[in-house]
Structure formats: structure tokens, C-alpha cells
Structure 1
Amino acid sequence: MATIKSVTSQAPLSTITNYVTKSEKTEEKLLSGKDCNPELAGKQMMNTKKFYGKLGGTQYYHFVQSFHAAEKIKPEEAHRLAMDFVSKCPIFDGFEVLVATHKDRKHVHTHFVVNSVSYSTGKKLQMNKRDLQAMKNLSDNLCRVAGLSVCVKGKTFEGQDRENVVAYKKETYRHLKKAEEGKADSWVRDIGVALIKFQAEATSRKHFVDLMQAAGITVDWQDNHKYIVFEVTRSGKLCRVRNSRLERYYNIEISKEALENVFALNAARRIAETAGERAAEESRTAINQSTVTRRNTEVENQSAEQRVYVARNERRNREDVQQRSRTAQSRPARQSVSNQATRNSRSKIHSRGNSGYER
């Protein structure tokens, strides 16, 4: 028996593709791509978005096809059936799809990550409840052909009657609407708001339970129980509601598997963010160290230049002193020679003058 569910996540495209292709969850032969290389699916999907200039809005659609733990199906068979499902699903025509079959849990399940932008037309994928139901019908038909069990409404995998979920009454609907408008108190809405908030923050089941507990909401989540039960005390009264009832009230997917998938994606995103923060911090540290080293070098260079400048000035000063000393020493001799030359010159002039007078 295979079920098809839509998983809501706000994780980046790179995070979801990295998560579903983890080596510990799948093998190379259990990883495929429709119109894309499974190893490069994330990059190819982003290239499609860039080509058509549609990087905003919904980045991808995430679906999971799960088989009951008691279903006798091998992971390889589940993967072949998943590829047959993708190729025959008209909703995926023209869209890149990453297909990864996981066997890390008791039940075999396959993830489908669908690009929100068509590589052939550039149009964005539009999904509604009818499309999801058509996907479920196709999955059931393929299971019948493969000789596998098919989901029967109101029946469990073993064929027992499933406990019916009582639809909410008009009074309940009206009260919830008033609570949304702030006109009435509703413990159901309080649980729903906390659930939506903390499922986007939690990185594990325990983390989620702890966050809800801190908000005053007890979570009864046991592996051997089908439903998750949320409890809160109001006016001294213990109020309880199942996740299945909340799904009907608010039209959200909060099954055990869906929540576990969201937690895993949150954890992967947090690891990626931490790695990015660490790289940024290492970069800042390297820049700071480089700046300090450069400044130290500049100071050393300035000190060296100053030493050279001082030494040059001292040398010039010594040379000036020596030059002045030599000049001072040679000045009397030059003066004596000059005086003697002057006297000789005057004597000659006088002699010539007397000679002329005698003639």
C-alpha cells in the first residue's frame, strides 16, 4: 500500500536536494532524475529559473510516496515504480524531477522534488487538491498492476476498520474563524499556531516536543501510536486534539512522516547556515590577521626608513663638520699666500713706475 503526500517546507532548493540525495539514505541506483542529472539537479533547476527570470515565489514542490512497513517490496522495486509514476504523471510533464528512494526507516519511501518552473515553457507549476488526488489515483493504479495492496478508505493495511474522524461542526468552524479574527479564545487555534511556528524551527522530534512543552502544550508522540496527541489545560480542564483533526481544521499536512521530513530539512539547513557562518568568521579572522600583519610590516618599514634617515643625516653632519674643519685649517696658508702675492704685485708696479720716471 503506497500513499502520496505533499510536504510543505521553506528550506532552500539546495538544502532539499542535498537532503534527499544523502549517501546514508540512498544508493546510486536508487537515485534518478527526470529531465535532469540527479547529482546536479539543484543547480540545473536553478539554471532553469535564471534562464526564464523566475527566481522568486515557490522554489519547488516536494512529494513523498510511502509504502507500509508490512508491504513486501524491495527498495529497488519501489524506485522503479516511482520512476514509472513520474513518467506517467501528466502534472510533471515539462518539469525537472529529482527522484530518491530512501530505505533508512522501517518503511521504504521515495522523495520527489519538482522544479516549480518548467524547463520547456518557463511557466510555473500550479497545484490544487484535484491534482494531488489524481496523483494518488495514478499511484494506486500502478500498485494494482504491480500486485501491491491499495489504500481503501476506512480500512487499515490489515483490512480492519479505521477509526472514523468526526468532521467539525458549523459551530466549531465559526468559533475557529472568530478566534482567527481575535474575537474569541480557542485552545485548538493556540495549539495550531504553536505547531506551525515550532515545526519551522525544530530540528528533531525531541526539539519540537521541547518547544511545544515550553509553550504549555504537551505532545504525546509514540512510535506504536498512529496519531500525535496535543494536550493543553484551559480553565482547569485538560483539552486534547489529534494531529489528524488539526489537519482537517487547517488543511495542513502534519502527519508523523511529514513533520519528521520538515525536521530533517531544518537540521540540514541549520548545518548549512552554521557552515556559512563559520566560513564568514574564518574569513573575517583572516582579514583581521592580514590587516595586523600589514600594519606591523608598515611600522617595521617605517622604523627601518627612520633609521636610514637618521644615519644619513648623521653622516652628512659629520661630513659637514670635517669639511668646515679642513676649510678652517687651510684658510691661514691661503691668506698668507694671497698677501705675499699682493705685495709682490705692488712691488713690481712700483719698480716699473720708477724706471719710467728716470727715462
Structure 2
Amino acid sequence: MATTSLWKVESRIDHVVDYATDKDKTKNKYYNQFNNFSSVRDLLSYATNPDKTEKQFYTTGINCKVEDAVKEMEFVKKIKGKEDGILAFHGYQSFVEGEVTPEIAHEIGVRLAEEMWGDRFQVVVSTHLNTEHIHNHFVVNSVSFKDGLKYYSNLSNTALLRKTSDDLCDEYGLRVLEEKTCKSGINFENFYKKSIRDSDYYKFAKEDLDYAIKHSYTPKQFHQYLSSMGYSYYYRANKLCIRREPYKRNIRVERAFGEEYSLESIRQRIIANDFIPNQKIIPYKRTTLTFYGRKSIFKKAYKPKGIIALYYYYRFLLGLHKKNNVQHKLTPKMREELKKMDMYSERIRFLCKYKLETLDNVDELKTKKLREKQDILNARNRLYYKRGKVDNETEKEEITKQIIAVTTELKRVKKEIRMCDEVTDNVPSMKEQIREMEGKEKNKEPKKNKREFAR
């Protein structure tokens, strides 16, 4: 069980950060104490204790480094032109005495900060151990590094903070505070419901859940539909949570949308569906025009060059040695790479598709794909907005299919961006491994044929 609060800071943000990250209050007393153990038994007992951690201080920076947090926050304010007014927000999350360990408290605090502010703001999270009640402190920059907008600590956001903290406590098996009307007459439950109604993220998630449930006939198919629409999902404490990029917040569907979205209710709704063969969803694809000139239709065979040739040669070496069972000639690193033959084949197809012969070509393609990714994200956001304005269920369903198709294309583009990064990272290592192997071959002395004849 944890209580939360958040208030504004209008002067000296450095004082707040210094207080939150005070080493005397956040120090892990078990860190780096191996020299103090008098026997091997004591040392092994410490090393295998699940309640210990190798974190020296319980401080974590989200979207910033703890040691440079003040400078980084002030830099964001400066480039966004918002250096006046509220400078930051300072909050806490306090646990019941003896209910949590410092490690769990800090883990919950970091997750709370990531879900509340992680997608737009810089946050410093620290866990103080200097009182009987372990408690987390949060220092949140008031200006978003993403869009330059300021954070407002209103009643809806306060209700969201309280509910998110309760959800996390529930996931970790801690007690949860019962929501009551305050002495001032404020009912935070109503403000929480309002924050969900006003959030496009929650609104679209609910529509996507309904679509996935309506078109599924098994739980596996339900999960496939969620994935196809860009959601990651997990189960904690027998409850479903979902999240969609670029949001950091996990949506606990039963708590957010009611008992109708409990696991049992979802299962019953899926079972109740009448089986209808699924319509094939055509993936989103950009149309390109092909122009044919007067040149001969017969093209010369493409000769691999640069990075493409390097990948072909590297895969050839791996495949050759695997086939002839002479793996001892490979370097240890290359023996590990044998398990990744399919991956190298996929990279070669990728390189040949775009004729990426140099690392500059790879960088240019990555830049192009990043722009394409943003275009697709914008197109998907427009579809979500369009669906929100439509009342007709048939039209909504058609738009949802378009969203799924666009998400499929987005996954393809993300994969190609990831492959660009992998190629850039792996080329130097591949060259080094090839040089090492060829060097071993050259240093080998030729075998001499010596025959000894017995008399």
C-alpha cells in the first residue's frame, strides 16, 4: 500500500534534485561489502540472497542522467524557451512500514515514473531509506523534451497518479488503498474516469480491444489481433495489460474499462462468437510506378560489391566450414555465428534488395526509412482520429482494418531500420574475424610428406 503526492517547484531546481538524490538517504548499505565477510559461507549467503542488489544508490534517471539531471533539464527549458514559471514538480510515493524491500520499492517507483511521465518528460527517481517508511521521491521537469509543452498537475493527473500507483502495488502483491471521498468533497475516482474518457490512447485501445474480441475465436487469435494492431501485452496477477508505442503507459484493461474486460469476460465473449471465415486483410503497401525504357530487357548478372560481397564471403566461410565439419579452423566468435546462418541470409537479401555496397548507402537508407516510419505513424494517427469521428460501425470496422494494414507496414519499416543498425555494427567485427582466420591459415606451415620405410 502506498500514498502519493505531487507539488510544484518554482525556484532552485538544483536544491530539489540534491535533496532527492542525497547519498546518505539513498545508499544501499549492502553494496560493495564483500571484503567484510569473514568466511566463504557468509559471502555465498550474501551473493545468493534475492533481496540484495548491486546498485550502490537507489537513484535512476529517466530520459536523463542522474548526475547531470539539473543541467539537462535546464537545457530543455532553454531550447524550448520556457525558463520561467513552474520549474519542476516534486512528488513522493510512501509505503507501509515493513511491506517492501528497498529494491522492490525502487522498481515500483521507476515503473510509476515511466508510465506517468516517461514518454515526454525527464524524471529523477530516488528511494529514501532514512525513515521507518521506505519512500520514493520524483523530480519531474515541467517542460517536455518532446513537444515543449508544460506538465499540469491537475485533479485528473493526480487521480491518474494515485490509480497507477495502486495498480503497480496490486501487481506486486501489496495492499491497495480504498478510494474514498476526501474531506474537501473531491472524489478522485470520478476524475480518474474523466481522464480515461478524455484520453485518445484509452479510447482507441478500448475500440481495438472490442475489435480483437469480436473477430477472434480463440485466445491465441485474440493475441494475434492485438499484435497486428501494434500492441504488446502481458498478464500480471491474472489481469491483462496492453501498451502501444509510442506510449509508455500500460493499460490495465479490467481496471480501466470495467469487469466486462476481465480475463473471464473476454474469454466468454470470444467463445460466444459465431465462426465466420476471416476476410483476408491486404497489407498496406505504397504503390510505385515502373517505367520501361528502350534498353534491352536482358540485364547483366549483378556482381556483389562492398558490404554485400563481405556478407557473401562471411556466410560462405561459415557454410563451408559447417559443411566440411572443420569448425576448428574458425575463430570462437565465428563458431557462435554458425547458429545465425538464416539471419545472415536475410541480411544479404536485404542488402541486395537496396544494393547497399557501402556504410554511407546504409546510413542514407536508414534516414529514408526513418522518414517513411514517421509518415506511416502520421497516417495511422489520422486513421485513429478518423475512426474517433465515425459513428457507423461498418465504417469503423473498415478503418480498423486499414489501421491493422498500416501497422503491418510499420513493423516492416521498423525491421529494416533495425537491420541497418545491425549491418553498421557488425561490418567491422566481420572484417576483423575474417582477417584473424586468414592470418591463422597463412601462419600454418605446409605439411611435409615424410615416408619412413621399415627394414
TM-score range, shorter chain: 0.3 to 0.5
TM-score for both structures, normalised by structure 2: 0.33
Q: Which has the higher contact order (CA 8 A, sep 6+)?
A: 1
- Rg larger in 1 or in 2? 1
